[in-house]
Amino acid sequence: MKTPLQLIQTGSAAGTKQPALAIDRLSKVFHMEDGYLNVLQDICLTISEGELVCISGPSGCGKTTLLKLIAGFMKPGGGTIRIKGRTVTRPGPDRCVVFQEDALFPWLTVAENIAFGVRQFMGRRQLNNEVDRYLEMVGLGSFGKYLPREISGGMKQRVALARVLILQPQVLLMDEPFGALDAQTREEMQNLLLSLWEKLSHTIIFITHDLSEAVTLADRIIIMTRNPGRIQADITVPLPRPRKKESDAFHRFYRELRSRL
């Protein structure tokens, strides 16, 4: 039999929603032969489930380093990173990364690339169905048999996206994934990402140099400064969705953001 206090505690714990990502006083130092580089200092950041957050800032401010720490590819110097309350100590299936130049396996077809991470968990029929589903989802329905060298840069990034989405990660980490694409393909990929995000409700952390891309995509924009890398601003984007790049409201907010930075 529970006492009233236990009942209250149980109730409040059950009602508390863990943030998708909680970073607390994170720091990272790189040691080199001739000294050290204080690359990240005192980073605190909380991201709710289903949020799409863009991180921007000058080259060298530590954006990729921050992403690699969240991914568990390297260890922090100090502070903690928690995904849904669990401290990150190594890479895990709850986090997936898409980089700018995604290295697809060149000897595998598009479908085999997408299947790669899940192939040992499914029978052949289920695997084929799942791969077809994700091929359709990223608009590559009829390209499953192509090799990476036979498709365009934008299509490769679609494969890269399908390859991580099929793993159903809680947090999707994207490091300038559309940075190498031409303007039109980039816009198509932004629209694709937004439609997938609306459908699948992932938490997304998206690094971009391009403020206009950040305003197009983000619920919140985190701006970092360098030497040492810190968070300078955490700005909620007040524009309703879908956002029109040509609209006055978009331009006004973009200009305001630029002038603040």
Which chain residues interact with Mg ion by CB under 5 A? 63-64
Q: Does 65 bind ligand ATP (CB under 6 A)?
A: yes
Shortest reach from residue 55's CB to ligand ATP, in Å: 9
For residue 205, state whether it binds ligand ATP (rule: CB under 6 A): no
Identified binder of ligand ATP from the candidate list 22, 42, 48, 64, rule CB under 6 A = 64
Residue 37 sits in the site that holds ligand ATP (CB under 6 A)? yes
Rounded to whole angstroms, the maximal C-alpha distance in the chain is 67
Q: Where are the beta strands (DSSP E) in the chain?
A: 21-32, 35-47, 52-56, 78-83, 86-87, 95-98, 171-175, 203-207, 220-225, 230-236
118 forms part of the interface with ligand ATP (CB under 6 A): no
| Cβ atoms within 10 Å of 53's Cβ, excluding its own | 22
Minimum separation from the CB atom of position 54 to Mg ion (A):
13
Q: Is 35 in the site for ligand ATP (CB under 6 A)?
A: no
Residue (64 or 185) nearer to ligand ATP, CB: 64
> What are the backbone dihedrals phi and psi of residue 46, each rounded to the nearest 5 degrees, phi first?
-120, 130
Q: Which residues pair with 37 in a beta bridge?
A: 30
CB of 64 to ligand ATP, least distance (A): 3
60 or 78: CB nearest ligand ATP: 60
Sign of CA dihedral 65, 69, 74, 76: positive
Sheet holding 35-47, edge to edge: 35-47, 21-32, 78-83, 86-87
Residues that bind ligand ATP (CB under 6 A): 30, 32, 37, 39, 59-65
